[in-house]
Amino acid sequence: MFDVTTNGATIPALGFGTFRISEDDVKRIVPKALETGFRHIDTAQIYENEAAVGEAIELSSVPRQDIFLTTKVWVSNYRHDDFIASVDESLKKLRTDYVDLLLLHWPNKDVPLAEQIGALNDVRKAGKVRHIGVSNFNTALMNEAVALSDAPIVTNQIEYHPFIDQSVVMETANKLGMSLTSYFAMADGKVFENDTLEAIAADQGKSVAQIVLRWVIEQNNVIALSKTVGEKRLVENFDIFDFELTGEQMQAIHDLADENGRIVSPDGLAPDWD
């Protein structure tokens, strides 16, 4: 395991995501993830499993201070007072007095971004969060968020997998000193049907999932979120630190990007993508 350090935050490069994982599965698999070696756990208010994540962490053998814990505020809670109350509720569910990283989950045009960023800064000043960031922001919103914030914006969590070109967002993140955090790295299963990825996996003696996760974290200041409810796949996903992709292999994966590769773009939430 290695870390990504940007804007004062040191974040494990490989995280365990809990999107669409039920509470029962969270309670079962998160302790296994921590036992395997994961130290970065990602959840969100809208996932409705923060309480299960908190219970799983509390019941694990890994001390809370050794875990990098991320959650996200949902868009309906962006008004300042609602924001503060929702963070307090998240902390109660997570059974902790702080999270390591708090993100705005999606843009919300109905609430001024200055109010959203102000609330992020307020909970940070109160010691409830160590670092702040955003998710699903385009480059214009990234620049605006940084300009509005007293505290550093440490990451933008975005859809990123071999079939989407995020080079424009990545360039902006690098200029702003931010990291990118990749979700949907497996492209909702599409990676497992790709001949190029299968060939690289065979050449490396690894699985396609391992190749994709390695491709993500070999890029500059990019963090990968993996997800599974299977213990065998969990161990496999963590086993990506004993090999490197060649420059040719990295480029071959980049070349898979397609202008129609985006999967996640919900109406009413998605910004004007770069």
Q: Please list the active-site residues.
A: 47
Residue in the block written with tokens 């974040």 = 11
Handedness of CA 147, 120, 183, 216 (dihedral sign): positive
Rg of the chain (C-alpha set): 18
- How many angstroms separate the CA atoms of 245 and 105, rounded? 32
Tokens of 91: 């902390």
Residue 155: left (phi > 0), alpha (psi -120 to 50), or beta?
beta
- How many angstroms separate the CA atoms of 196 and 254, rounded? 11
CA atoms within 13 A on the CB side of 68: 22
Tokens of 31: 């302790």
Strands 9-12 and 3-6: antiparallel
